[in-house]
Amino acid sequence: MIRGNQNIGKRALLIIWTMLLVSVWPMSVAAAQDEKTKVAKGVTIKIDGDKVKISDPIRKQDERVYLSVANIASIFGAKSKWDKENEETTINSAQGDKIVLGNGVPVVYFNEGRYVMKEEPFLVGGKMYMPLRQMAELLHATVKWNDEENTAEITTVKPAVVAADYGLAEISKQHGSTKAELLKRNGLDSKDPIKEGTKLLVVVPSIFDNEAKPFTEEDITLLAKITQVEAGNESYEGQLGVANVILNRVKDSRFPKSIKGVIYSGKQFPPAHNGMLDKSKPNESVKRAAKDALNGKNNVGGAVYFFNPKVSKGSFWDNLDVIVTIGHHSFAK
């Protein structure tokens, strides 16, 4: 009886310990996320002098105020649509601009252009967050922080109307921009006639100074195809890692300077030489991983090799510096 009671006690302790692990571990991950971007209590948001109600928590990171993208869009009368599968938000602004943001992706699609942002979007509690000031620029507004009142004061900016004595030169001077910047902001060319009565958007987003490196359809197709062959059955994170290894090689002087060159050179990618690459049909997860990698999302640092440690044996692989292991692949340099 005593032994039976001891066994029962041990089983009970094991069950309790397991329950504690299950409950505490997710909380610790959430706590780590909250530690990076803490909820900002007591912050007030005003737009054109009027206080606005924010439904999602306001957050702060490195003294920047972050709002959920859905809240920001609502404030500015824009429409937003969340793509859960690709973790992307598409915003159609009141000014007619189209903005596409991806989770953890530093590149924003703004109308026909691609630009690198200072801060990439992130998810907390299933909500995508962005710095208020950065988003305000994209939505044709300015933000001033009132430290005494702990308030973000948003001012919407009306378009300038071209007149006989108020043309491109006068408008650009008044708003502290160049003629070229104003033309770009409005999707115009220097040869386009600007008639009286034309409304010009005058808030030039700072991202315009940082255009993203372009890529071709061949680039994304090849990257997606090789990623499908090498990691089609892995998670999105594993697929993103493989795509980034190839892009890291393009940047590394030891390897060819193009995606095609990297894939077809050497022995790392046998599918490029045995016909498997040509037959590859990327799934939706792989397509997303290839696109996100080309847009700067990187989860493997400077890794230029990936391998399955259960398959790839020998001194070469043993001497590599493994950065991270995702699924069946170790990523190393």
Domain CATH number, residue 180:
3.10.350.10
Backbone angles phi, psi at 15, to 5 degrees: -65, -45
- Same domain? For 71 and 169 the reply is no
Task: Specify if 5 maps to a domain.
Answer: no
What tens digit of pLDDT does each residue of 280-301 get? 999 999 999 999 999 999 999 9
Residue 170 clears pLDDT 70, i.e. is over it: yes
Residue 37 clears pLDDT 50, i.e. is over it: yes
Residue 222 clears pLDDT 90, i.e. is over it: yes
- Same domain? For 125 and 172 the reply is no
- Same domain? For 53 and 99 the reply is yes
- Choice between 316 and 32, residue whose per-residue pLDDT is larger: 316
Task: Specify if 174 maps to a domain.
Answer: yes
- Same domain? For 267 and 322 the reply is yes
Read off the pLDDT of each residue in 21-28 and give the average, rounded to a whole number. 37
- Same domain? For 181 and 243 the reply is no
Q: Is 18 exposed, middle or buried (0-12, 13-18, 19+ CB in 10 A)?
A: exposed
* pLDDT value, residue 116: 98
* pLDDT value, residue 16: 41
At 28, which helix (H) or strand (E)?
Answer: helix 2-36
- Same domain? For 226 and 203 the reply is no
**How would residue 75 be classed by pLDDT, with cut points 50, 70 and 90?**
very high
Task: Specify if 115 maps to a domain.
Answer: yes
**Domain containing 297 — which CATH number?**
1.10.10.2520
Backbone angles phi, psi at 263, to 5 degrees: -65, -40
- Same domain? For 144 and 228 the reply is no
* pLDDT value, residue 103: 97
- Same domain? For 307 and 232 the reply is yes
Residue 53 clears pLDDT 90, i.e. is over it: yes
Q: What is the pTM of this model?
A: 0.86
What is the number of other CB atoms lying within 10 angstroms of the CB of residue 290?
30
Task: Specify if 7 maps to a domain.
Answer: no
Could you tell me if 89 and 80 are in contact, meaning their C-beta atoms sit under 8 angstroms apart? yes
Closest CA to 328 of 237, 219, 200: 237
Cα–Cα dist 180/272, whole Å:
45
Task: Specify if 246 maps to a domain.
Answer: yes
| Among candidate residues 154, 180, 200, the one where a domain is terminated | 154
What tens digit of pLDDT does each residue of 230-270 get? 999 999 999 999 999 999 999 999 999 999 999 999 777 89
Task: Specify if 11 maps to a domain.
Answer: no
Task: Specify if 128 maps to a domain.
Answer: yes
Structural domain count of the chain: 3
**Domain containing 106 — which CATH number?**
3.30.457.10
Q: Which domain holds residue 290?
A: 217-332
Task: Specify if 13 maps to a domain.
Answer: no
| Among candidate residues 107, 130, 154, the one where a domain is terminated | 154
* pLDDT value, residue 165: 94
Residue 76 clears pLDDT 90, i.e. is over it: yes
- Same domain? For 323 and 225 the reply is yes
Residue 273 clears pLDDT 70, i.e. is over it: yes
CA distances from 321 to 76, 262, 306 (A): 48, 21, 11
- Assigned token pair, 277: 């690459």
Read off the pLDDT of each residue in 186-214 and give the average, rounded to a whole number. 94
- Same domain? For 244 and 287 the reply is yes
Calculate the average pLDDT of the chain: 89
* pLDDT value, residue 268: 78
Cα–Cα dist 310/75, whole Å:
53
